[in-house]
Chains A and B, each alone.
Chain A
Amino acid sequence: MVTAAAIDDSSLQLTFVLFLTVVVITLFTALLTAPQRDEISEFYLGNRAMSPLRNGLAMCGDYLSAATLLGSTGLVALTGYDGLMYLGGTTVAWMMVLLLIAEPLHRTGKFTLGDTVALRLPRQQRPVRVALAVCILAITTLYLVAQLVGSVALLTQFTGVPSGTTRTLCVVVIGTFVILYASLGGMPGATVIQIIKAVMLIVGVLFTAGWVLHRFDWNPNALLERAAERSGTGVTFLEPGLRYGGTVSNKLDFLSLELAIVLGLAALPHVLMRLLAPRSSSVLRSSVLWAIGLVGAVCFGAGILGLGATALLGRDTILDTDRTGNASVLLLAHELGGSVLTALLTCLAYLTLLAVAVGLTLAAASSLAHDLYSEVIRKGRASETEELTVARLSGAVIGILGMLLALVAWGANTATLAFLAFAIAASAILPTIIYTLFWRRFSAKGALLSLYGGLLCSVLLAVFSPVVSSAPASFYPEADFAWFPLQNPGIVSIPVGFLLGWLGTVLDKGPAEEAGTHEEFEVRMLVGADD
Chain B
Amino acid sequence: MPEFPPRRDDTPTFPLPHIEHTPPSGISDHPEFHSLRRAQRRFGTRATILSVGGFLLYVLLSSFVPAVMNQPLFGHLTIGLALGLGQFAIMGVTAWCYVRHMRTRVDPLARGLRSRLHENENRRARAAAPPQGAGQPGQPLRQGTRGFRTW
Contacts and interface: CB of A to CB of B under 8 A. Distances in A.
A530 B133 contact: no
Contacts of B25: 519-520, 523
A85 B59 CA distance: 7
B124 interface: no
A530 B136 CA distance: 8
Given A95-B48, A244-B63, A38 B99 contact: no
A528 B114 contact: yes
B137 A109 contact: yes
B86 to A, nearest CB: 10
A81 B148 CA distance: 56
B151 A531 contact: no
Looking at B88, B102, B110, B150, the one whose CB has the most chain A CB atoms below 10 A away is B150
A523 B134 contact: no
Contacts of A31: 151
A259 B60 CA distance: 11
A115 B135 CA distance: 9
A39 B94 contact: no
Interface in A88-146: 88-89, 91-92, 94-96, 98-100, 106-110, 115-116, 118-119, 122, 125
Interface stretch (A221-229, A331-339, A471-479): A221-229
A528 B136 CA distance: 9
Interface string B19-48: 001111101100001001100110111011
A99 B62 contact: no
Looking at A279, A289, A438, A529, the one whose CB has the most chain B CB atoms below 10 A away is A529
Given A110-B137, A516-B21, A520-B131, A96 B117 contact: no
A504 interface: no
Given A99-B44, A239-B80, A107 B51 contact: no
A56 to B, nearest CB: 12
A397 interface: no
Interface string B138-150: 1101111011111
B18 interface: yes
Nearest to A112: B134
Interface residues of B, number: 73
Nearest to B24: A520
A527 B144 CA distance: 29
A95 B51 CA distance: 7
Interface residues of A, number: 82
A190 B70 CA distance: 45
A254 B62 CA distance: 11
Given A262-B52, A520-B131, A522-B37, A289 B99 contact: yes
Interface string A32-66: 00111111110000000000000000000000000
A528 B110 contact: yes
B55 A92 contact: yes
Contacts of A100: 44-45, 48
Given A81-B80, A125-B133, 13 more contacts: A39-B141, A84-B84, A91-B87, A92-B91, A100-B45, A115-B133, A225-B75, A251-B63, A254-B63, A292-B95, A523-B24, A523-B117, A528-B110
Interface of A: 31, 34-41, 81, 84-85, 88-89, 91-92, 94-96, 98-100, 106-110, 115-116, 118-119, 122, 125, 184, 220-221, 224-225, 228, 235, 238-241, 244-245, 251, 254-255, 258-259, 262-263, 276, 279-280, 282, 285, 289, 292, 296, 300, 375, 380, 384-385, 388, 438, 440, 515-517, 519-520, 522-523, 526-531
23 contacts: A37-B146, A38-B150, A85-B84, A88-B87, A91-B87, A91-B88, A92-B91, A98-B95, A98-B98, A100-B44, A224-B77, A225-B75, A240-B66, A245-B66, A251-B64, A254-B59, A258-B56, A289-B95, A296-B88, A519-B16, A523-B28, A526-B36, A530-B138
In the A-B complex, the 7 residue pairs with the smallest Cβ-Cβ separation, listed nearest first, are A530-B138, A37-B144, A251-B63, A519-B28, A221-B75, A224-B76, A515-B18
